[in-house]
Amino acid sequence: MRELSYRPGMEKRKRFLRSSYETRPRQPWERVLLSVFGALFLAGLIWLCVLLVSTQSASQMYQDTAKKYAGTGQVDFEQLWQENRDIVAWIRIPGTPVNYPVLQGDNDQQYLRTTYQGHHNVLGSIFLSEDNRSDFSDPNSVIFGHNSHGKTMFGTLKNFRSSDYWREHPEIYLSLPGETRVYRILSVRETRTGSDVYQISFADTEDQISWKWDQKSASVISTDPVEPNDSNTITLSTCAGSNTNRRIVLVAQRVR
């Protein structure tokens, strides 16, 4: 049998390979850093679990509320007011998950992270702008809701950027004490906070109709044959993803 010949540098390579498998003792600062990262990861995981459970709980609560108070098509405001006197309307878009009570607080922050039952929750409530009259008699009434990652609250408004989705769900039903109004979607647009779409009053009818044409022109989809008239409108507004200054809005005018 042939003997293996010695090659220069072989011992050095062996020592290098042995040292590669040896673990040197960690420095104190490294252990502290690993502990901090581990704690942050664990805290983030716990927060994510709490958020998920909280969101699912609120979503189920709103579904149960819709069945209880609006399951027959008629909204029982007397029963709703026993839970919260700030409920001013009920909004529904047939064929979509949008089916919620509409609240109006003392300011627009009140129901941003609070359910209609008064519980703190990331989903918050659907609420009417503090600048509007609660009977929806303003030329334009603005309604806010969160853009959740699921289908709750106003999370499905982004779907209206598809013409097919708009054609399948062209109308919004708004129930008030004693009546139900129907609105047809005139515009689906993306804008920023402070946009003219949030204007609630106008100098005159001509100014109002001109504003409607501006909204229709800015729509990301064609809403023909719907044309502006002098009826009141509602504007549904939600965040457009993680950019907090961007908004997805639907402008709908009353048809009956």
Alpha-carbon distances of 213 from 60, 140, 201, 224, rounded to whole Å: 39, 14, 15, 12
Question: What is the SS3 assignment for 84?
Answer: coil
Render 90-145 in DSSP notation, one character per residue: EEE-TTSS-EEEEE--SSTTTTTSB-TTS-B-TT--EEE-TTS-TTS-SSEEEEE-
Q: Where do the H-state alpha helices sit in the chain?
A: 10-21, 28-70, 77-83, 163-168, 205-217
pLDDT at position 61 is 87
pTM: 0.80
CA atoms within 13 A on the CB side of 47: 7
CA distance between the termini of the chain:
102
**Residues across the chain:** 256
Q: By the 8 A CB rule, do 126 and 102 touch?
A: yes
* Rounded average pLDDT over 182-189: 98
pLDDT at position 26 is 67
Going along the chain from its start, the domains and CATH numbers come out as 51-254 (2.40.260.10)
Give pLDDT tens digits for 107-122: 999 999 999 999 998 8
Mean pLDDT score across all residues of the chain: 86
Give pLDDT tens digits for 31-41: 677 767 666 66
d(CA 160, CA 169): 8
Q: By the 8 A CB rule, do 55 and 122 touch?
A: yes
pLDDT-wise least confident of 145-159, 172-186, 227-241: 145-159
Give pLDDT tens digits for 127-153: 999 999 999 999 999 999 999 877 889
Q: Supply angle C-alpha 61, 132, 137, rounded to 5.
A: 100
Q: By the 8 A CB rule, do 226 and 185 touch?
A: yes
